[in-house]
Amino acid sequence: MTSPVEPIRQAQDWTPDSWQKKTALQQATYPDQAELEGALQALQALPPLVTSWEILSLKNQIAEAQQGKRFLLQGGDCAELFSECQPSIVANRLKVLLQMSLIMLHGLEIPVLRVGRFAGQYAKPRSEDMETIDGVTLPSYRGDLVNGPDFTQASRTPDPKRLLQAYSHSAITMNFVRGLVDGGFADLHHPEYWDLGWVEHSPLAEEFHRISQSIGSSVRFVETITGQTPGALRRVDFFTSHEALHLPFESAMTRQVPRQWGHFNLSAHLPWVGLRTAQVDGAHIELMRGIRNPVGIKVGPGMTGRDVQALLKRINPDDEMGRVVLIHRLGAANIADQLPGLIDAVKATGSPVLWICDPMHGNTEKTSNGYKTRHFDNIQAEVEQAIDIHASHGSRLGGLHLELTGENVTECIGGARRLSETDLVTAYKTTVDPRLNYEQALELAMLVVKKHRSIA
């Protein structure tokens, strides 16, 4: 197989605009095309949000994950909000991801590749174009990149200025994340700094403290025996990802860079294609097929083994390593039925993929009191089944894709604190999908480790 950083070849008959000849689902309708064009031109002139060498480094690490040498942890909000671009919210989300990765690193004994669903997760697919409340019909909220969540004509009308605001908020978030990480926030000597204040009160406290102390002393031990300069283990990497949904925005950020062949999407390291837009002949797959980034593709209950084979052929015709992450999100009730066939179909192609599980989107339901929620038990059950099914089909679950937050929200039911349907009202803050709160996220990390160990 080919090394991921070796030039392969530019996709045939592709340009950053070739998607325009294909069917583009889930796009916003802007009232003023000239204003949209103006915003896109302004966007095109701005510097990239990420660099090509970071993208290629991630691709290399995904290639290693495909060989079982790393575990990928991807997580963050369902929909980031401009109004939540706040220091504590960004830092807490980072802390949860760091803590989860620590638990996994410790338990799985392999490096964890951290990919935030942040610094650009501003566009949302919706099942209905319009929403009606009390006889008033307005466009659906499509994420802060497009319009506002408030149910008013002004807020719901797609506004091109938001493209530049999204760019700025992504850049501000990235800048803060990079500063925290470079400044020692993620120092492995002191994982106790990452505590979120929940620890003393949590049923999981003891276990987490044991893990974090053990990591701290292992780091010191390794430094002592290898004579490494203090600091070599201080830095951890964070990569960014978002759903590459808004095609004019994504193609404005798709560019060539000096001294590299081909094109990169420079708005995130790992763009992914959502389930609703993953048609092999669709515009989203067309745009993604020509870039050199690694690309995620959601795989859901409606997809057949043949669909996935066709997608792989289109997006990775040269079987490049590190290029494709398949994110299955089948639901706890469907995974046993559907995943084995999908694994076999992918294996039959011989094309390398990293399989990761999104146990969130196949397990969404509505409570009797009207909340969109997910049961922790179903999330856990889907991940545990995924680990088993991959293992028994000669494959390996290589990562997780989660919707989570560092805040103490009450959006998912269950977990160590046994949140119930009636608790949801306490702190239900999401504008789109329910997220794991920090404690549920850590609990899931611990359960995943237990499950992996039980089959190892």
Applying CB under 6 A, the residues found at the interface with ligand PEP are 78, 125, 243, 274-276, 298, 329, 361, 433
| Residue nearer to ligand PEP on the CB measure, 19 or 208 | 19
| Residue nearer to Co ion on the CB measure, 76 or 294 | 76
- The candidate with the shortest Cα–Cα distance to 242, out of 352, 348, 420, 123, is 123
Contact of residue 328 among Co ion, ligand PEP, none (CB under 5-8 Å per partner type): none
> Which residue of this chain has its Cβ atom nearest to ligand PEP in the complex?
274
Cβ atoms within 10 Å, residue 174 = 20
Determine the Cα–Cα distance for residues 117 and 121; give it in Å rounded to an integer. 6
Determine the Cα–Cα distance for residues 400 and 407; give it in Å rounded to an integer. 20
Contact of residue 125 among Co ion, ligand PEP, none (CB under 5-8 Å per partner type): ligand PEP
Q: What is the CA radius of gyration of the chain?
A: 21
* Minimum distance from residue 427 beta carbon to ligand PEP (Å): 20
Determine the Cα–Cα distance for residues 372 and 435; give it in Å rounded to an integer. 10
| Residue nearer to Co ion on the CB measure, 286 or 433 | 433
Determine the Cα–Cα distance for residues 219 and 94; give it in Å rounded to an integer. 20
Distances (CA, A) of 117 to 72, 99, 114, 227, 401: 12, 16, 10, 36, 9
Q: Cβ neighbours of residue 331 under 8 Å, at least 6 residues apart?
A: 301, 362, 363, 378, 382
- In three-state secondary structure terms, 65 is helix
Q: Is beta strand 136-139 parallel, antiparallel or unpaired with respect to 130-133?
A: antiparallel
Binding segment for Co ion (CB under 5 A), chosen from 72-80, 84-92, 179-187, 273-281, is 72-80
Contact of residue 274 among Co ion, ligand PEP, none (CB under 5-8 Å per partner type): ligand PEP
* Minimum distance from residue 78 beta carbon to ligand PEP (Å): 5
Of the candidates 78, 199, 288, 357, which one interacts with Co ion according to CB under 5 A? 78
Binding segment for Co ion (CB under 5 A), chosen from 71-79, 167-175, 250-258, 264-272, is 71-79
Q: Cβ neighbours of residue 224 under 8 Å, at least 6 residues apart?
A: none
- The candidate with the shortest Cα–Cα distance to 193, out of 236, 232, 241, 239, is 236
Contact of residue 390 among ligand PEP, Co ion, none (CB under 5-8 Å per partner type): none
* Minimum distance from residue 298 beta carbon to ligand PEP (Å): 4
Contact of residue 298 among Co ion, ligand PEP, none (CB under 5-8 Å per partner type): ligand PEP
Contact assessment for residue 59 and residue 240, using Cβ atoms and an 8 Å cutoff = no
Under rule CB under 5 A, residue 433 binds Co ion: yes
* Minimum distance from residue 403 beta carbon to ligand PEP (Å): 7
* Minimum distance from residue 341 beta carbon to Co ion (Å): 25
- The candidate with the shortest Cα–Cα distance to 371, out of 443, 441, 427, is 427
Under rule CB under 5 A, residue 412 binds Co ion: no
Contact of residue 209 among ligand PEP, Co ion, none (CB under 5-8 Å per partner type): none
Contact assessment for residue 263 and residue 290, using Cβ atoms and an 8 Å cutoff = yes
| Residue nearer to Co ion on the CB measure, 64 or 433 | 433
Contact of residue 159 among Co ion, ligand PEP, none (CB under 5-8 Å per partner type): none
Q: At residue 59, what are phi and psi to the nearest 5 degrees?
A: -60, -40
* Minimum distance from residue 361 beta carbon to ligand PEP (Å): 4
Size of the site for Co ion (CB under 5 A): 2
Contact of residue 329 among Co ion, ligand PEP, none (CB under 5-8 Å per partner type): ligand PEP
| Residue nearer to Co ion on the CB measure, 115 or 343 | 115
| Residue nearer to ligand PEP on the CB measure, 407 or 433 | 433
* Minimum distance from residue 331 beta carbon to Co ion (Å): 14
By the 10 Å C-beta count (0-12 exposed, 13-18 middle, 19+ buried), 425 is classed as exposed
Contact of residue 384 among ligand PEP, Co ion, none (CB under 5-8 Å per partner type): none
220 sits in which H/E element: helix 205-226
- In three-state secondary structure terms, 328 is strand
Contact assessment for residue 190 and residue 216, using Cβ atoms and an 8 Å cutoff = yes
Determine the Cα–Cα distance for residues 334 and 301; give it in Å rounded to an integer. 7
Binding segment for Co ion (CB under 5 A), chosen from 134-142, 249-257, 313-321, 425-433, is 425-433
| Residue nearer to ligand PEP on the CB measure, 120 or 274 | 274
The site for Co ion (CB under 5 A) is made up of 78, 433
